[in-house]
Amino acid sequence: MRLSRYFLPVLKENPAEAQIVSHRYMLRAGMIKQQAAGIYSWLPLGYRVLKRIEQIVHEEQVRAGHIPLLMPTLQPADLWRESGRYDDYGQEMLRIKDRQDREMLYGPTNEEMITDIFRAHVSSYKDLPLTLYHIQWKFRDEMRPRFGVMRGREFLMKDGYNFDVDRASALHAYNRHMVSYLRTYERMGLTAIPMRADSGPIGGDDTHEFLVLAATGESEVFFDSAVTELKLGNRAVDYDNRDEVAGVCKEFTTLYARTDETHDEALFNAIPEERRKVARGIEVGQIFYFGTKYSEAMGATVVTADGSKVPVEMGSHGIGVSRLLGAIIEASHDDKGIIWPEGVTPFPVGIVNLKQGDGAADAACEGLYKALAAKGLEALYDDRDERAGAKFATMDLIGLPWRITVGPRGLANGVVEVTSRRTGVSEEMSPEAAVDRIAQIYAEI
């Protein structure tokens, strides 16, 4: 993409309404525009990151054996009357009437609808296990929408639902989700810690929230600092192997890590003092095993191998796709702007032409742009007729992890400069070597 032809409405001033750094940088970098409280347009740069995050979520869900579909945003109220939640949900639910005076709602989540789909088409244990998910906009009329996309009213969520014949299979689905989430967040450059959370009236240790540590997080969290060292990495996990998957979950959930809802002072104090941490975190996902709560209420049953008819075992599992943009920026920025991890960056690399209109500089930039494209890497080429300082400031603000700087002086010596946004370290090399370097970095992620 050539910046002269792109739509990147960068703001020079700090927007007064933004209280936290991620909101400020998303507005300044021209990623989002507020249209109403908690409702945003996704401008091209923000949209690219959103799509990138969605892509990673999809890839990891499919890898775990889960199946994508798409349910609508608008739902009939009657489905929610079946579960009893139409009355329970309260003012967070946006209720609408159509021209026939039928009651509808903008979905805050989809347990009822997915159960309706299941009961219409599945009746035998032979069709199980089954996990269906979608990535769809949700609406919750939050009392205090704030912090930009972190607590929106309209927000994008991945929500998945497992259907299993018995509790043991449903717990395997729960564990599969935990492992796939760990990999999802790691690919986004995040450390998201699974923490035991409150499962409400159902009880047991059957829900975990995934938290990214950040001073601006809304949740208070308590953990053993050793938990932050755990990494899934590139290890191959066989998602069909119950013991193996359970083993990974055990590794990540044995050390103490809890939200304030389930915090236990005595257990916490048993951790060696230097490892005892109290901090704040951003909830970027939650997994939940709830058994037959919805299947019983809505009559979703399956016939088992011995011929008996039982309500299907279920769980639901969410990732805050749009919130993740805010969480990643909170975890990765400096005083000049965003620092995107390679996994989610809107463009893999920026090209800065220090002297637009100089024949050699223009030709070298064009050459780099095309050579990168030939390797599947779409650079953002700053080809505007601007001062070098302004070009650097824009690149730093929008946070591309790598920058190639091209100027007549370097070219006279046959070199361009490759700079890491994270470390600020620059290295001179030939344009060919620069292309190879960037290609190598992205081949490894």
| Stretch 364-403 residues interacting with ligand ATP (CB under 6 A) | none
Residue 24 contacts which entry, Mg ion, ligand ATP, none (Cβ below 5-8 A, type-dependent): none
In angstroms, what is the minimal distance from the CB of 37 to ligand ATP? Answer: 12
Nearer to ligand ATP, 32 or 157 (CB): 157
Q: Are strands 350-353 and 380-382 parallel, antiparallel or unpaired?
A: parallel
| Gap between the Cα atoms of 41 and 26, Å rounded | 12
> Cα(298)–Cα(82) distance, rounded to whole angstroms?
6
Kindly list the distances between the CA atom of residue 435 and the CA atoms of 214, 391, 429, 430, in Å, as whole numbers in the listed order: 35, 20, 10, 9
Q: Which stretch binds Mg ion (CB under 5 A): 2-10, 21-29, 284-292, 365-373?
A: 284-292
Residue 157 interacts, among Mg ion, ligand ATP, none and using kind-specific CB cut-offs from 5 to 8 Å, with ligand ATP
Which range of residues in 28-36, 66-74, 277-285, 342-350 is near ligand ATP by CB under 6 A?
Answer: 277-285
251: CB partners within 8 A, 6+ apart: 230
> Does residue 142 interact with ligand ATP by CB under 6 A?
yes
One-letter amino acid for residue 441 of the chain: I
Residues 109-128 that bind ligand ATP (CB under 6 A): 109
Q: Which residues of 356-381 are buried (b: 16+ CB within 10 A; e: fewer)?
A: bebeebeebbeebbebbeeeebebbb
Residues touching ligand ATP, count (CB under 6 A): 15
Which tokens is 299 given?
């009559």
Residue selected from 23, 24, 66, 151 as contacting ligand ATP according to rule CB under 6 A: 151
Stretch touching Mg ion by CB under 5 A, among 181-189, 257-265, 286-294, 353-361:
286-294
Site for ligand ATP in 93-112 (CB under 6 A): 109
C-beta closer to ligand ATP: residue 158 or 421: 158
With CA atoms as reference, report the closest residue to 255 among 285, 275, 226, 220: 226
- Quickly list DSSP for 55-88: HHHHHHHHHTT-EE----SEEEHHHHHHHTHHHH
Binding to Mg ion in span 321-340, by CB under 5 A = none
| Piece of 151-159, 223-231, 268-276, 419-427 that binds ligand ATP (CB under 6 A) | 151-159
| Residue from 75, 180, 259, 286 binding Mg ion (CB under 5 A) | 286
- Positions 155 through 184 that interact with ligand ATP (CB under 6 A): 155, 157
The footprint of Mg ion on this chain (CB under 5 A) covers a number of residues equal to 1
In the bound complex, which residue of the shown chain has the CB atom lying closest to ligand ATP?
Answer: 320
Q: Is 234 exposed, middle or buried (0-12, 13-18, 19+ CB in 10 A)?
A: exposed
Instruction: Transcribe 306-323 into DSSP letters.
Output: TS-EEEPEEEEEEEEHHH
Amino acid in position 203: G
Dist. CA 4–CA 142, nearest whole Å: 39
Q: How far is the CB of 139 from ligand ATP (least distance, A)?
A: 9
Q: Which of 148, 291, 320, 348 binds ligand ATP (CB under 6 A)?
A: 320
Q: Is 283 in the site for ligand ATP (CB under 6 A)?
A: yes
Site residues for ligand ATP per CB under 6 A: 109, 140, 142, 151-152, 155, 157, 283-286, 318, 320, 322-323
For Mg ion, the binding residues (CB under 5 A) are 286
